[in-house]
Amino acid sequence: MKAEGLKVSNEGVNGIKGYKFAGVSCGIKKSGREDLALIYSEVPAAAAGVFTTNKSKAAPVLVDLENIKSAVTRAVVINSGNANACTGKKGMENAREMVELTAGLLKADKSEVLVSSTGIIGVQLPMEKVRAGIEKAVAGLAPDGGDAAARGIMTTDTREKKVTVKVDLSTGEVTVGAIAKGSGMIHPNMATMLCFMLTDAAVEKHLLQEILKETVDDTFNMISVDGDTSTNDMVIALANGTAGNEKITEKDGDYDKLSAAFKAAAEAMAVEIVRDGEGATKLLKACVINAPTKQDARTGAKAIVSSSLVKAAFFGEDANWGRVLCALGYSGADFDPGSVDMYFSSQKGAIKLVEKGEGLVFDEAKAAEILGETDIEILVDLNCGKFSATAWGCDLSYDYVKINGSYRT
């Protein structure tokens, strides 16, 4: 959903009222880059969360599923380079220790701290390093520490992912900022991705949860890099009310505006995750329109961007529309193949490839020019309803195999 009056920039989370941040290196990563981040609300905040659907949930996810129930949240501590997943009883103890140590240093209750990890699965956290990192992060908290925090959550990401959205509510301007990580193990129904969304708006906790769930459904659950759903992914939202707006307590106009700001921020992060997909050379945007139901549109769009054959065709800049129609056909979406129209487009123009389910004779040179761009849209008109959905994906390149063939070592 787009809304008028949104001011979007790539400033990130720096300067959002009432928050401080830190990103430090504590030696988890061999590279020496930042590998521990801390987000802290100076005043009590409401929190909401959406977590991985993978049954093999990492220890931090299990801890957060309990702590997210707290009426108040003050901080999120995140490490990268080690997922603390499939680590048994010791892994749970380590996740809880990260929470307890952070809470103690910040003089908060342990129920008011969330924890997140990302990186290699099946390896115990080096807790001596983590403890020192948490102490260093707490000491270094600052309102302008958001970029360092964004770097501290990265694994195979090639760059920071950050966004800021400002919107005017009826009682004043509020800000939504986000930092995210994600590059591989990305697939709908959440992927290997972490996103932390912060706002200075005042909103009831249960309404913040509804905003976040709707946001994730339309953004992070509509992306795919490689078809793998991680053990660790989560999206956490904090709202601390420091903007001074009248608290949102019902689904009114202010609720809709705040929801639009969240969706704009999340869409920006979702697109950046896909654009930075491991080995990716192209961003694919699949739009399915005129479907019988919203679910049919979503199902079809996700199948297109998740298909390895579709992704490989776009890497090769091959206008192989049959692979798109094939992915739609097995997706489970309800449609009449004999009614489908299809177009590919980019900055170089658009070309119609299919009309009423049959391939058209098209200009191969024009198609090659269109597919030579980095951002490509696949438009599929089902002509059998009024609902639409968009999904984002990337191509499948040789480098994806190279990156993941030696990820652990």
Residues classed as catalytic: 192
Q: Which of 195, 191, 194, 193 is nearest to 226 (CA)?
A: 191
- In the block, tokens 């769009």 appear at 301
Structure tokens at 301: 């769009």
What CA dihedral angle connects 23, 28, 30 and 31, to 10 degrees?
-10
Q: Helix, strand, or coil here: 27? A: coil
| Sequence-separated (6 or more) residues with CB below 8 Å from residue 55 | none
Alpha carbon separation from 390 to 197, 275, 304 (Å, rounded): 22, 15, 10
Structure tokens at 137: 């992060």
Q: Please give the distance of CA 29 from its chain centroid, rounded to a whole number.
A: 22
Burial (0-12, 13-18, 19+ Cβ within 10 Å), 250:
exposed
C-alpha count within 13 angstroms, C-beta hemisphere, residue 12: 21
- Residue 54 has φ and ψ, to the nearest 5°, of -65, 130
Q: Helix, strand, or coil here: 29? A: coil
Q: Helix, strand, or coil here: 71? A: coil
Nearest-angstrom CA–CA distance, 337 and 324: 12
Kindly give the interhelix angle for 321-331 and 294-306, rounded to the nearest 10 degrees: 130
What does the DSSP assignment read for 136-180? HHHHT-BTT-HHHHHHHT-SS-SS-EEEEEEEEETTEEEEEEEEE
Kindly give the interhelix angle for 308-315 and 294-306, rounded to the nearest 10 degrees: 60
| Sequence-separated (6 or more) residues with CB below 8 Å from residue 143 | 14, 15, 19, 20, 21
Residue count (the chain): 409
- In the block, tokens 């520490």 appear at 145
Radius of gyration of the chain (CA): 22
Q: What is the DSSP letter of 361?
A: P
